[in-house]
Amino acid sequence: MAFDHKIQIANINSMIGFQHTSAQQTDYEFNTTVTKTYLAKLTDHQKSLQKQNQGFMNLHSQHIDEIESLNGSILPSIDHICVLGIGGSMLGPKFIIDALQMKNSTKQFVFLDNIDPDEISKVSRELPLERTLFLVQSKSGTTPETIAQFSFFLNKCLNQGLEIHEHFIFVTDPDSGYLREFGNKRGITMFHIPKNVGGRFSVLTPVGLVSASLAGIDIRQLLLGSESIIDRQLMSHGDVSAYLYACQLHYYYTKQLPIHVIMPYSDRLKLFGDWATQLISESTGKNRTRDGEDIEFGITPLPARGATDQHSQLQLFVEGPKDKTVTIIRSNETANISIDPDDSLPDEFKFLSDHTFGELLNAELEGTRTSLIESNVPVSVISLNRINEYSIGQLIQFYQLAIGYLGEITSIDMFNQPGVERSKVLAKEMLSK
């Protein structure tokens, strides 16, 4: 018995649709479990999640006037934006810029998201410092990799005689940390990350909004899209698709399907998989519950890209170990570009006639979805009517809320990352000897 659940979130601007389909023999059990076990606890889980006061659920109320006015306050000669950061301070902004940067934007963006000396050397050679604004992002203001990047480019700018306050902006802790202290002394423009927002949940804080606004993206629409998810899924209880998505992840994990493939069928969404990978990995990978019970839990995200990875990873998904679920993300609005095949093509390609690249992509998507279902791989489809600020805000918040719900279902703290902190301590000890 196939389980086919469809829920849509809609308004006049855009829509996210969620659909889960599987041909597994356990579908009836899944349907029953959702109805009798998961949904029976929905209200309790909603209340518990709200009591945690996680800031990512309230970012639609933040004041953004100063962020929106940045383009008018930076030097007219600035045409390069170099973003310095790592992890949660970088993956979200990169995704938003890649998906939404306006074609008429005059600014070029460079995201330096690692400390690879070859890449730092390359960026240093190519950036015109006098025309570059450095956006330095660290929630704590003490991230060693980011401080190293900042110190390197700060010295470059000082050696060139540039006014530091004209070429640097900080996004960091509101009260403490090296960046906050330095910024106060040197008159640097600074924006703060709310203390109750974790790094991987911070994309809709100034972490993502500052660079987005500089790129000409409508950040108010991003926040309105995010707010619509919170309102419909958490406040008014009119839609439970984010909760069902969390239920699906948990249910199939208990059935020994710990790998979750995230497969957008749009190049504008390809970096979403990178952002979601950190969100899922750092949130779910834990060795104890909130009550201190020892466990080994973790959903392993696997980014893929349609239709490209039909020719690399799909063979593994279809005929390999049945340890995966798949989420396909699609856009219902694509550019109307005709294929216009040449008349000399052999008959086997005549089916391309009178079709667009969008129709071909959608056919590839449906072929992938059907082949996965036939191979007993559970598949979810998230649909965006169009890719714009509003729908991207919805998509981000949908995933964040689902992860929050997953924490309630599993009694696991989805908002800490002690394993990451330990590696930082060890690296510091090695370099300090």
**φ and ψ at 411, to 5 degrees?**
60, 35
130 is catalytic: no
> Based on the domain organization, do 242 and 261 belong to the same domain?
yes
**CA-based R_g, the chain, Å:** 23
Residue 263 gets the label, from left (phi > 0), alpha (psi -120 to 50) or beta, of: beta
Residue 424 located in a structural domain: no
Residue 133 located in a structural domain: yes
Q: Which of 161, 190, 217 delimits the end of a domain?
A: 217
Residue 425 located in a structural domain: no
Q: How far is CA 359 from CA 107, 134, 182, 194, 310, in A?
A: 33, 41, 53, 43, 16
Output the 3-class SS for 279-318. HHHHHHCEEECCCCCEEEECCEEEECCCCHHHHCCHHHHH
> Based on the domain organization, do 406 and 285 belong to the same domain?
yes
| pTM, full prediction | 0.91
Q: How far apart are CA 43 and CA 39, in angstroms?
A: 8
Pair 115, 145: CB distance under 8 Å: yes
> Based on the domain organization, do 130 and 154 belong to the same domain?
yes
424 is catalytic: yes
Q: Which of 217, 240, 274 delimits the end of a domain?
A: 217
Please report how many Cα atoms fall inside a 13 Å half-sphere around the Cα of residue 2, on the Cβ side.
17
> Based on the domain organization, do 203 and 89 belong to the same domain?
yes
145 is catalytic: no
pLDDT at position 136: 98
Residue tagged active-site, from 195, 237, 424, 428: 424
pLDDT at position 29: 61
The residue segments making up the domain with residue 411 are 3-51+222-419
pLDDT at position 429: 78
What 3-state class would DSSP assign to 415?
coil
CB neighbours (10 Å) of residue 223? 21
Q: Which of 199, 217, 235 delimits the end of a domain?
A: 217
Nearest to 133 by CA among 113, 159, 162: 162
What tokens appear for 289 in the block? 């519950």
Q: Which long-range contacts (CB under 8 A, 24 or more apart) does 63-69 make?
A: 64/209, 64/213, 64/219, 64/220, 64/223, 66/191, 67/191, 67/206, 67/209, 67/210, 67/213, 67/219, 68/213, 68/219, 68/220
pLDDT at position 254: 94
> Based on the domain organization, do 242 and 208 belong to the same domain?
no
Pair 237, 61: CB distance under 8 Å: no
> Based on the domain organization, do 226 and 289 belong to the same domain?
yes
What is the number of domains present in the chain?
2
Residue 432 located in a structural domain: no
Residue tagged active-site, from 20, 60, 227, 282: 282
pLDDT at position 67: 97
> Based on the domain organization, do 283 and 145 belong to the same domain?
no
**CATH classification of the domain holding 203:** 3.40.50.10490
Residue 70 located in a structural domain: yes
Residue tagged active-site, from 311, 348, 429, 433: 311
Q: Which residue has the tokens 């899209």?
A: 225
Residue 187 located in a structural domain: yes
pLDDT at position 270: 94
> Based on the domain organization, do 185 and 251 belong to the same domain?
no
* Digitized pLDDT (tens) for each residue of the chain, 433 residues in all: 222 333 333 322 334 565 666 554 445 566 666 767 888 899 999 999 999 999 999 998 899 999 999 989 998 999 999 999 999 999 999 999 999 986 557 789 999 999 999 999 999 999 999 999 999 999 999 999 999 999 999 999 999 999 999 999 999 999 999 999 999 999 999 999 999 999 999 999 999 999 999 999 999 999 999 999 999 888 766 788 899 899 999 999 999 999 999 999 999 999 999 999 999 999 999 999 999 999 999 999 999 999 999 999 999 999 999 999 999 999 988 777 777 766 666 776 767 777 788 888 889 999 999 999 999 999 999 999 899 999 999 999 999 999 999 999 999 999 998 877 677 677 777 777 7
What tokens appear for 248 in the block? 């699906």
> Based on the domain organization, do 138 and 238 belong to the same domain?
no
> Based on the domain organization, do 210 and 233 belong to the same domain?
no
Please report how many Cα atoms fall inside a 13 Å half-sphere around the Cα of residue 128, on the Cβ side.
8
> Based on the domain organization, do 209 and 237 belong to the same domain?
no
What residues does 220 pair with on adjacent strands?
none
Residue 108 located in a structural domain: yes
Residue 405 located in a structural domain: yes
> Based on the domain organization, do 238 and 191 belong to the same domain?
no
